[in-house]
Structure 1
Amino acid sequence: MKLALPGRNKGPSKFEQAANGEMTLIEHVRELRTRLFRASLAVVAGFVVGFWLADWVFELLKQPYCDLPTMRQADGGCPMTQLGPADGFLLKLKIALWVGLIVSAPIWLYQLWAFIAPGLHKHERGYAYAFVALAAPLFTGGAVLAYYVVEKGLYFLLTSGVTGLDTQLEVTRYISFVTSLILLFGVAFLFPLVALMLNVVGLVSGARLLSWWRVAVFAFFLFAAVVTPTPDPFGMTVLALALSALYFMAVGVALLNDKRRGRGKSLYEGLDDDAVSPLDLGDTESVTAGDRVTASGPVSASGPVTVGEPVGASSPVSASGPIEPVEPIRPRPIERGFDDMT
């Protein structure tokens, strides 16, 4: 009698079954339900952690406002205006949810990836790993830049208005302003990464990306002017310049990637669309006058050929014999009332 050892004869995993196309539609739906349930549990656990950290996060988000002149009081406090009695509690729940999504991101992103990855090829999974590895620090860099831009933007907005710098801000609108700016900067920093991924998969070359730099810079300034939630020129300019710098860095990496893969060395590279392509004849021997070229090589003619000699008419071609009439084709009777098509 043989005993089954633990860890053996488990069969293919869910990932292998989905990648090989062995799962039915109902099994895919059940797997999606399981993934969503696990992701929801992770978000709930992160929400509990975020509720515990909400006070510290609120003080961190309020720091740019408190660093403004005349905002910090003598006792070290930094008062803000609250309009409704439940605004403070609802704001704490909102901050806890944001923190919970960030804390539980590795878990619910893994559940999403585990459901999508079996439908991708091996090289496509490698591209996804590289995208995530670069997207995380880029998003963090954009969020940190936005955090330091908030103070400059607040100072410009408060000093340019008629109310003065000592005006107290409403707490919920201020936190929405800061979080929107952080999210906007973080997502915007991913745009050059998308251009780089298009080059990696072979959809666009680095030279073509470099030729679009004027359009890209204009689009970045237009995008920053439209989506920036503040009318101050400081935040818009910083965002546009940062996106332009990241775009040129992505173009440089794309050019190095093309050079490594040997792109741009084709016969017609560098030619305009209306230019005539050159013919590379190689070491073909020149044929002298009076020679004619056949499939086996040059064969000398019977005599010299005079330039401009008229070509005479060819000998008449005699008609062939009469063609016998073709016997007409009679259709066969249809058996049982149906032909081959019906």
Structure 2
Amino acid sequence: MKTFAIVGLGMALAPHMASLADLKDRARLAHAVTRSPARRAAFEAAHGIPATGDLDMALADPAVDAVILLTPPDSHRDLGRRILAAGKHLLIEKPAGLVTDDTRFLADLAGSSGLLAAPVLQHRFRPAIRAVAADLASGAFGRLCGVHCLIPWWRPQSYYDAPGRGTFARDGGGVLLTQAVHTLDVLRALCGGARITAAQAVTSPLHRMEAEDLVCALATFGPGAAPGTIMATTACSPGMTETMTLILEWATIRIEGLRATVFHADGRVEDLGGQGAGGSGADPMAFDHASHRDLIAAFLDALEGRAPLAVDLSDLIATRELIDAMT
């Protein structure tokens, strides 16, 4: 049984609490930390677990093995440093800092301290994505020949009216770092890397915000430098499902949200499964928590010494470098 603390009781909390409930035979929550008295009261009423504003008290508890950090990006470097300095393993929400050097700092600190540090990149744990990754690793479909990625999401202006949201000072960026990072991380991993050759990032007339809400890019993918395109936005009302199309020698793979389909060159169509909403519209939390649960289960496997981390901060750094090249 591993003991956790959660720091940050905002929007990102719900799937983590649902996941810990599912994993109650392997994990327990000892501390919930937030500076907000209102959020502490709401958390205690909903979960029956005491909440505190004292992070140092939670970190001083020798029973705590790991901390799930769910605060805004501008706090990630400092709070992540404090958590690791206290000798606790770290599971941190993306983007793990305002700039990529913040993520590198935390990765280096964890490595030098002998601690695990992993990002919340839950899309990697979707069953359809795992199935596609296994098929690609087998080499059964031949070389990658072309790629198209479209993330036509929507956020209303009210979303960006929240203090600090969509600013560089609090979020570190806009659609790429806050929304598209999950899809781009999956795309980069499936293709074996990506390199941006040209890009344009703008703030559309649909939003009043500091950072970008629409980005288009040309890129090459994988060791064979297959050509492809990326478009990501939160200005596409009412919000549509993101898609990735991978054109290979002997098949085309289309990933649409949680679903993946293989169109074989011989005419066969193979459904790799997956269904459900993915948070593409006005409600950013409109998704099932199953991928979060599987991510935390994999983190527990690493904590228990059963397996290495399935996804670590080096993966997030590589995806952030891809994002940096588009802005």
TM-score band, normalised by the shorter chain?
A: under 0.3
Q: Which has the higher helix share?
A: 1
* Larger Rg computed on CA atoms: 1
Q: Which has the higher strand share?
A: 2
Give the TM-score taking structure 2 as reference length: 0.24
Give the TM-score taking structure 1 as reference length: 0.23
